[in-house]
């Protein structure tokens, strides 16, 4: 039985998306999952879908110790990292996991570089903190281990924050939460199922945590190209990312660029879908290059999120392939995965 290791796999976002997809899908029924974590405690969502730990095991590790990681990766075939250290150690952790995977005899490794395509990791400075030197280290070991980057574009789930503008209170009764998570296959119906663990970090003025489109309040802040045309965006829901990754486990060969696409559409089409689904005429603020460049210069050095959102919008304006617009490589390799489009996502979760 092949085994997948997921460093950071207890997370309620990508970790949950991948684990639930591997357990739920028949084409990965032979795979077991080893979750690497700093804590041995299983999150409630994991206990809901694997109560007896028949498919999953948690191994505690020190990510800054290669020896600790080597011990945890013994017997592992594929290593897919979803760690998100924000203390400045993220890139080193990926390199440590790679070196440990090599010593443990693992066959495949994907570092935690989720998001835009390969050009995005080069051109968006706020993304470099998590990948500096990582892919260079991967390329040094071609022939020893198969390495790939999984790219998905922007998370569609930011649209969900625009549907649920105020965080709901977490369920205080663990038994009730566990029952709801079991019923929803690891997700509580409603806000949790829509947002899928994505943090409320979007910059919309309504403070919902949404990005680009605020469905409930009928607002949008959308970048526009220099020629007045709407740029494109590739979006994928968190759960579909998990399904694409699960589908990739049995592939005989990975591409170095494992990009996946839920939907690629223009900002204008995204707006049109939002207005059609909600029946509202949206109040739209268009974001121009020169204004964004001025904003970027004026931001405080420690305003990381402000810089990131500004750089993201500038990237959309560039409208480049392999940056914000991805090729459906994994879609072609895994045709059994039918991803959710932006319109379908809105229609499914909009109920106001």
- Give the pLDDT confidence of 213-237 residue by residue, as tens digits: 999 999 999 999 999 999 999 999 9
Q: Report the predicted TM-score, pTM, of the whole model to 2 decimal places.
A: 0.95
Question: CA-to-CA distance for 233 and 315, rounded, in angstroms?
Answer: 10
- DSSP assignment of 288-320 equals -HHHHHHHHHHS-TT-HHHHHHHHHHHHHHHT-
- Residues in the chain, pLDDT under 70: 167-172, 352
Residues 6+ apart with CB under 8 A from 298: none
In 10 A of CB 166, how many CB atoms?
13
Containing 233, the helix (H) or strand (E) segment is strand 232-236
Tell me yes or no: is domain 3-154+236-259 CATH 3.10.580.10. no
> pLDDT of 316-339, one tens digit each?
999 999 999 999 999 999 999 999
Supply the DSSP symbol for 208: S
Question: CA-to-CA distance for 114 and 179, rounded, in angstroms?
Answer: 31
Each domain of the chain, given as residue ranges in start order, spans 3-154+236-259, 155-234+263-325+341-350
Question: CA-to-CA distance for 183 and 349, rounded, in angstroms?
Answer: 17
pLDDT value for 165: 74
pLDDT value for 172: 66
pLDDT value for 132: 85
């Amino acid at each position: 039985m092949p085994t997948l290791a997921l460093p950071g796999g207890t997370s309620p976002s990508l970790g949950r998306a991948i684990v639930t997809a591997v357990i739920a899908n028949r084409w990965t029924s032979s795979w077991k999952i080893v979750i690497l974590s700093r804590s041995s405690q299983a999150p409630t969502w994991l206990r809901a879908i694997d109560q007896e730990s028949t498919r999953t095991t948690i191994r505690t590790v020190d990510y800054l110790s290669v020896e600790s990681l080597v011990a945890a990766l013994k017997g592992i075939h594929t290593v897919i990292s979803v760690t998100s250290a924000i203390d400045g150690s993220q890139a080193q952790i990926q390199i440590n996991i790679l070196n440990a995977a090599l010593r443990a005899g693992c066959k495949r490794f994907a570092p935690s570089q989720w998001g835009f395509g390969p050009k995005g990791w080069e051109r968006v400075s706020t993304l470099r903190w998590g990948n500096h030197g990582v892919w260079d280290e991967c390329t040094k070991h071609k022939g020893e281990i198969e390495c790939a980057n999984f790219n998905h574009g922007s998370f569609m789930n930011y649209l969900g924050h625009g549907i649920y503008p105020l965080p709901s209170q977490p369920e205080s009764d663990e038994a009730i939460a566990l029952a709801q998570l079991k019923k929803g296959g690891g997700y509580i119906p409603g806000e949790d199922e829509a947002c899928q663990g994505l943090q409320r970090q979007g910059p919309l003025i309504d403070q919902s945590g949404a990005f680009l489109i605020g469905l409930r309040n009928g607002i949008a802040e959308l970048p526009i190209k220099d020629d007045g045309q709407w740029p494109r965006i590739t979006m994928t829901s968190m759960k579909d990312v998990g399904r694409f990754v699960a589908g990739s486990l049995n592939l005989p060969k990975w591409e170095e660029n494992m990009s996946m696409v839920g939907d690629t559409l223009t900002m204008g089409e995204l707006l049109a879908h939002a207005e059609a689904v909600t029946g509202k005429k949206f109040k739209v603020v268009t974001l121009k290059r020169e204004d964004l460049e001025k904003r970027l210069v004026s931001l405080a050095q420690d305003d990381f999120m402000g810089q990131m959102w500004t750089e993201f919008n500038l990237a959309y304006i560039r409208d480049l392939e392999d940056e914000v617009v991805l090729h459906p490589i994994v879609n072609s390799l895994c045709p059994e995965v039918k991803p959710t489009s932006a319109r379908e996502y809105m229609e499914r979760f909009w109920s106001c």
